[in-house]
Chain A
Amino acid sequence: MSPTVLPPSGDKHDEIPGLIETLLATEARLEQLTAGQVDTVAGQDGRTFLLRRAQEQMRRGEAGKQASILNALPARIALLDTVGNILSVNEAWRNFVGAHVLQGPGYTVSLNYLTACDGAHGYGAREAHEVARGIRSVLAGTEALFSIEYSYAVSEEQYCFLLTATPLAEGHRRGAIVTQLDITDRTRAEEALRQKDALIHMAGRITRTGGWAVEIPSQKVFWSDEIFDLMEFPRGQAPTLAEALELYPIPWREKITAAMIACAEHGAPFDFEMQITTAKKRNIWVRVCAEAKRRKDGSVLRVQGAFQDITERRRADEKLQLLSSAADQSTEAILITDAQLDLPGPQIVFANPAFARMTGYTAAEVIGQTPRIMQGPRTDRALLRHLRENLAAGQMFKGQTINYRKDGQPFPIEWQIAPIRDAQGIVTHYVALQRDITERQLAEMALKRFRALVDQSSDTLEVIDPATGRFLDVNDRGCVMHGFTREEFLDLRITDVSATTTEANWPTVRESIRLHSSRSGEGVHRRKDGTTFPVEFRSKWVKLERDYIVTVVRDITERKATEEQLLHSQRIENIGMLAAGVAHDLNNVLAPMLMAASILQSHITDAGDLRMVQMVEASAQRGAALVRQILGFAHGVGGEQQLVQVKHVLHDIASIITETFPKLLDFEQEIPRDLWTIQGNPTQLHQVILNLCINARDAMPDGGTLTLKGENCSLDEPAARAIPGASPGDWLKLEVSDTGTGIPPDVLAHMWDPFFTTKGPGKGTGLGLSTVRGIVERHRGVITVQTVPARGTTFTVYFPATDGTVGTSPSTPLVFRGNGELIAIVDDEESIRNLITDILFHHGYQVISASDGIDGVGLMAKHVGEIRLVITDFNMPGLNGDKFARVIRSMNPAIKIIGISGGDEGRVAAATANPYADVFLTKPFKAEVLLAQVQELLKLPPIVP
């Protein structure tokens, strides 16, 4: 149709109505002819002419179709005029307005939509104002499209809308079409998808897992964000497939390339653990797996898969592998159980080989069992209870008890059981380290025994650190010896204890020990109180796990004292031996005097001469007694006991005192005639009293009175109590008093000790009083002392008195005479030989003599059978008496032999032991004694004059 129509001219004006008339008539006729069944007719030029009814029909149909289309749309559509009035709406708009709240003004036809939007208030007002603005700009032609998404709550349901406004006709201000599309479902679906996506990403992030895909055949690579992060790539453009494969180090690259090809071509899935290098050149372990996504025709559309960073897990696996092999290699039994403490008890989930070796159970046998199968009657129940309590409290437990092997054999075991907790701190398992401590217990016992041994030692045992000189250990004896506790001792250094080890010489001492590996000697140690004592030590360098010095220290205080005493006694003994030698010679000097005196007495008739001879005899006898005393001291005092007339002893002493003591001493004596006898040894008694008298003399260097007193004394009960050591009864009491200096208290305390002397070197032996006391005690006596400084001292000795009395006077001497019997004398001392010859000859015997054993044997050979008796010296040079006696006995078994000896008691004892001598006489002896023995041996009757 031509849009342009020329304005009709004046003359043609009349033609138009005619033509319309013709058109209408033509049309009516056509309709008539075709009975209204024709829609179009065409002219000769083929132009189609639509008949009026068909035109009408067409127009109505078109509008209906369009309305149907609009009504069929789910969107709500409204047509606005140029100022925003709603011209028409579709069915969806109408229904929505009808169904919901929008009955109000503004949303239905003929109302102004803009005004309605402008008037909105409250919830959604902001969006409504924005809508009004947008529509206005569309209506004004400044915007070709306005769209907005907004949500709207209706009946507590949230709805989402997409509103669009478009111009009705482009370029013309003819109004606008407003479309509201309900996108609630789409929005919700999108939201759900977003949430799902977020969850997937979160899961991926946490598990360090991502997804990937490779399109086939384009080879376009898709990576999820997680893979970009894992690979340390910036998110966004994924690398090409070739680039992606380049990321794998060579050995893996070949493998995964082959797998990719197989998956892309044949759909073969794969699942590998490999190493890959990230963009930041870090090597990480990944698990990469893939599967093929196929098209309907079976061809592979894409290869898609997952990619996980398993570096941590690989590390954990490796660590686990290491730990597991450590557990396998451990020599300690390791047992892991679950945490079930209630019946039937925890179950074993792991046991290492050491456990199997220890118990005899294999791991397979015990897994699933409770460790209680190893307990038995000797297992400590209290300990188990304690264990259970500790574990229940989540604490570690250590203990020892008895367990049983599979074969029932009990063994001591040490446990260390610790709870294993998960990340939340909940105890899930227990791990038990178990050790068979049989060996250790034995070792501990041995160690304890050894320690006891060490502590029992009478010597100090020290362990010293060579580096510092500090004591590392010391035995009990060492602590006691030095007066320290062990703790105090272990704080000390060697220089604190050894007075002979100083800071200066300690390094030298140490090096000496190291060099020679040991060192010994004597030194001085210091006690805690500062006092010192002599020690003997022996140090040894000991190399164990490190270096030690072990030192044995012995307190030699007593030994030192003993050594001094020994030295002293040795000196005394030397003096004794010297004295014995002198005594022997003195005896030989005295013997002729005695014998000669006794012979002279029988020849002399003049009373004056006789007294002189008797005095010579008494002096010689006293000399002999002195010699005996010296010998007795030198060789100790055995001393036979006999009934002793103490008054004789006292008289002897008194005469010695008067003869030998300084004359400026006054001597008083009180010796009753009826003094009781005692059982004792006269020589020793002599020694006691003489000793006390000498001490009394020495206490009075400037003179004074010495009193010697004897007394019979009957002690009753109270009197006996007053004297320590005495008992009631008859006692002989001897007193030696002086008026001297008295004894100072410090001397009084020690004066009985052996070798204690106040007399200075060389003057006294220190044996005097101790010998006195020894003798008194041997006689069951008591000795006491009273002393007053500057006034004097009295020693009182009590001896138990014996019953009865000894004959008070010596018996009349018997006269012994021979009857020409032949007696041989063998002695190397000519004077003695001659004297004895004289005595025997004068008393009726025949005598022959020889000067030594050889001559003696010759004599015997000449006169064997005639000689009845041989008197022989036992101390002869050459063939001595001992051998000589044996020889002559063998020549004549019936012969009698008298041995004589001028020697000391030791030699006498040796001679006495000789089985060939019948009798022994010790020089010097009296003639009567010799004659009596001869008489006795030859069985001759005594002759009473």
Chain B
Amino acid sequence: MSQPPPFFKFRLYVADDTPNSSVARFNLDALCRAHLPGRHEIEIVDVLLDPTRALADGIFMTPMLVKLTPAPVRQILGTLSQTETVLQALGLNSASATAA
């Protein structure tokens, strides 16, 4: 690939440190460190603290990860524990295979 790797912008909607939200934050951190070092940005939105934001964004459940870039925008619900599935959903499957 002659193209530079894309920069990932995430937004993670959580509810305080409820169990699933906490796990999701932990998993996203680990995934980014492993697969997207130096080319990611994470914004955390606590729906308990900022309910209108979630409503505006059309988020009805937490934890919910939104990939803002690169396009297309994708929403992934849950704790992000199934790593392969998540990578696939993010379009990072081949990249990881190539890297391996």
A residues bordering B, Cβ < 8 Å? 34-43, 45-48, 50, 53-54, 57-58, 61
Contacts and interface: CB of A to CB of B under 8 A. Distances in A.
Nearest to B80: A37
A34 B19 contact: no
Most chain A CB within 10 A, of B14, B17, B52, is at B17
A40 B48 contact: yes
A57 B78 CA distance: 17
A63 B86 CA distance: 34
Given A46-B51, A48-B47, A48-B51, A38 B19 contact: no
B52 A40 contact: no
Contacts of A54: 15, 18-20
A42 B54 contact: yes
A42 B20 contact: no
Interface in B45-94: 47-48, 51-52, 54-55, 59-63, 77-79, 81
A38 B78 contact: yes
A40 B19 contact: no
Interface of B: 14-21, 24, 47-48, 51-52, 54-55, 59-63, 77-79, 81
Contacts of B18: 39-40, 50, 54, 57-58
A40 B54 CA distance: 11
Nearest to B16: A58
Contact of A57 (B19, B48, B60): B19
A36 B81 CA distance: 12
26 contacts: A34-B77, A37-B81, A38-B20, A39-B14, A39-B15, A39-B21, A39-B62, A40-B15, A40-B47, A40-B61, A40-B62, A41-B62, A42-B59, A42-B60, A46-B51, A46-B54, A46-B55, A47-B51, A48-B47, A48-B48, A50-B15, A54-B15, A57-B18, A58-B16, A58-B18, A61-B17
Given A37-B79, A48-B51, A48-B54, A42 B61 contact: yes
Contacts of A48: 15, 47-48, 51, 54
Contacts, number: 67
A277 to B, nearest CB: 68
A46 B52 contact: yes
Contacts of A43: 60
B96 to A, nearest CB: 23
B55 A42 contact: yes
Contact of A41 (B48, B60, B79): B60
A53 B63 CA distance: 14
A39 B63 contact: yes
Given A46-B52, A54-B18, 6 more contacts: A38-B77, A38-B78, A42-B51, A54-B15, A58-B17, A61-B17
A50 B62 CA distance: 10
Contact of A38 (B16, B48, B55, B63): B63
Contacts of A39: 14-15, 18-21, 62-63
B49 to A, nearest CB: 10
Nearest to A54: B18
A265 B59 CA distance: 62
B13 to A, nearest CB: 9
Contacts of A36: 20
Contacts of B59: 42
Nearest to B59: A42
Contacts of B16: 58
A625 B47 CA distance: 194
A38 B51 contact: no
B93 to A, nearest CB: 21
Nearest to B24: A37
Contacts of B19: 39, 53-54, 57
Contacts of B52: 46
A201 B24 CA distance: 64
B47 A42 contact: yes
A53 B23 CA distance: 14
By Cβ-Cβ distance, the 9 closest A-B pairs, closest first, are A46-B55, A37-B78, A39-B18, A54-B18, A40-B15, A37-B79, A57-B19, A40-B62, A39-B20
A40 B51 CA distance: 11
A289 B72 CA distance: 76
Contacts of B14: 39
A38 B54 CA distance: 15
A272 to B, nearest CB: 64
Contacts of A46: 51-52, 54-55
A248 to B, nearest CB: 64
B51 A37 contact: no
A36 B24 CA distance: 13
